[in-house]
Structure formats: C-alpha cells, structure tokens
Amino acid sequence: MTKENIKINPTDYHYNQDTKVEIPGGFLLELLALSETLLQKEIKAESKFKYNYIDNSDKVVKKFKQEDVESGKLKKIVDWERTIDDPTIEYSITSDGILYANLKKFLESLHYDNIKNGIAISTIKSEDSVK
C-alpha cells in the first residue's frame, strides 16, 4: 500500500452494475476453491435427539395422546441409547454458508462462461495429442 492509498477509503467507492472487472484466471480458481472451503465449514451434520415418554411410575409409554404430554401426565426424556446407537443424521447450513454458496455459484458461472468461450484451457489431454 502506498502513501496515496492510505488516504483513500475503499468502502467509499462502488461499481455500476454493468462494470466488468478482470482478474487473472488462476485467481478465479483460487476464489472458487476458497468459496468451497468456506461453504463446507458452514454445513453441519447433526444427530437429532430421540425421546421416550414416561408415566408417573417411570414406565415407557409407547402409545400415547399428545394431550397427555401437554398436560404433564407424561414426561418427555431423551433416549440416549437410541440417540447414540441409531442416530438420525440431518444436515443444515448456516446463514454464512448460504452467502458462500451464492458466491460459489456466481464464481462457477464465470468459470463456465470462460469454458464455453474457450478462455479456460482443458487439463484433459485429447486422444489426438497422446499419439
């Protein structure tokens, strides 16, 4: 950063919607890889708790009415054995993850456009070049 740049606040500047900005292709690929790394950190795999409902004598009640739970006639307790031995894994994504996914989607669209337009070069050797 030069002395001139120190006086400039970059947040005071923006681009018009149709302004094109060029970056090196290698940097685009690095940004794609970074967006994937950030996205994966925001995807969570969680096991949901499984519950039993017990009556006043601490016996598990298999068939019950929801009103018995709501009235307090039955207590809802975590069934640790089923929760741990037979987990139900569910996936979720954080709000940051959604932001990273949108960034990745945008960068991928730029990369695919570059592939279609012949700007990006294939790393796969064709059969003709092997001969």
Domain contains 99:
yes
> Quick check: helix, strand or coil at residue 69?
helix
Quick: pLDDT tens for 72-127: 888 899 999 999 999 999 999 999 999 999 999 999 999 999 999 999 999 987 66
Who contacts 93 (Cβ-Cβ below 8 Å, separation ≥6)? 42, 43, 44, 101
Residue 127's pLDDT is what?
Answer: 62
Give me the residue label for tokens 């090196």.
Answer: 24
Q: What is the pLDDT of residue 128?
A: 57
Expressed as residue numbers, the domain containing 61 is 51-117
Is 39 a domain residue? Answer: no
Q: Is residue 12 a part of any domain in this protein?
A: no
Whether residue 86 lies inside any domain: the answer is yes
Compute the average pLDDT of residues 41-56: 92
**Residue range 7-40, pLDDT digits in tens:** 889 899 999 999 999 999 999 999 999 999 999 9
- Is 101 contained in some domain? yes
Bridge partners of residue 77, in order along the sequence: 52
Domain count, the chain: 1
Contacts of 32 (CB under 8 A, 6+ apart): 104, 107, 108, 111
User: Would you state the structure tokens that stand for residue 75, as one six-digit string?
Assistant: 């207590």
Helix/strand/coil for 44? strand
Q: Is the pTM of this model over 0.85?
A: no
Q: Classify 126 as helix, strand or coil.
A: coil
Residue 4 has pLDDT above 80, yes or no: no
